């Protein structure tokens, strides 16, 4: 049997661990400063672009790696799932002190932005399914739909770099 003093000490310890865990969670979020989130999400986008480029090379017949298309498409679908998380408030153009092409419209029309990410996820998932058949023509057709899903978000929500 534990004495009263021991019981109290135990309760105190459990409470301290609980508090520590709660604080830890809060601190982890506060550490994500806007400019890092922007750098991170631009890398996610570059990753998506790398996958679609690899699939396009297969579709154009430049390489014969049709067996890799499903993995590339699944990677894009997974990236699409995290897109909304990568756009916290306060990370738009002119807000975080670093260049970004994220328009203010993203936060004004959040549901439409989230739907555009969902659409990329759906089209990329479908491409992974189509790729299983190994038909390069069918891969090319569904690749077109994935491309439209990129444009469907970039047009309303991304400013183009002046080049
Ligand atoms: C739901 C919206 C959305 C979808 C879908 C989307 N993008 Fe983007 N993309 C953005 C936004 C917003 C930016 C600007 C991000 C920034 O500068 O902070 C961006 C930026 C980029 C960039 C520039 C990254 C850099 O180096 O600054 C590339 C490349 C890119 N996207 C490729 C793609 C491709 C390829 C697809 C489709 C397979 C795609 N994106 C789908 C919203 C989207």
**pLDDT tens digit sequence for 55-76:** 999 999 999 999 999 999 999 9
Say what the pTM is.
Answer: 0.85
In ligand 1, the atom with minimum distance to the C-alpha of 91 is 18
- Name the residue with the closest Cα to ligand 1, atom 38: 150
pLDDT at position 9: 63
Residue nearest ligand 1's atom 25 by CA: 42
Taking the centre of ligand 1 as the mean of its atom positions, its distance from the CA of residue 154, in whole angstroms, is 6
The model's pLDDT over 84-119, given as tens digits with 9 standing for 90+, comes to 999 999 999 999 999 999 999 999 999 999 999 999
Quick one: which of 120, 131, 152 has its CA closest to 72? 131
Fold of 33-157: 1.20.120
């Amino acid at each position: 049997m534990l004495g009263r003093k021991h019981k109290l000490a135990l309760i105190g310890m459990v409470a301290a661990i609980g508090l520590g865990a709660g604080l830890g969670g809060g601190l982890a979020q506060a550490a994500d400063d806007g400019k890092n989130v922007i750098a991170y999400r631009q890398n996610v986008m570059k990753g998506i672009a790398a996958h679609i480029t690899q699939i396009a090379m297969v579709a154009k017949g430049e390489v014969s790696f049709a067996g890799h298309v499903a993995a590339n498409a699944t990677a894009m679908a997974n990236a699409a799932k995290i897109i909304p998380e990568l756009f916290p408030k306060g990370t738009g153009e002119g807000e975080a002190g670093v260049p970004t092409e994220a328009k203010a419209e993203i936060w004004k029309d959040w549901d439409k932005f989230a739907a555009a990410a969902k659409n990329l996820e759906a089209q990329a998932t479908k491409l992974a399914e189509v790729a299983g058949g190994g038909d390069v023509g069918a891969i090319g057709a569904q690749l077109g739909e994935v491309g439209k899903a990129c444009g469907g978000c970039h047009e309303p929500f991304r400013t183009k770099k002046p080049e």
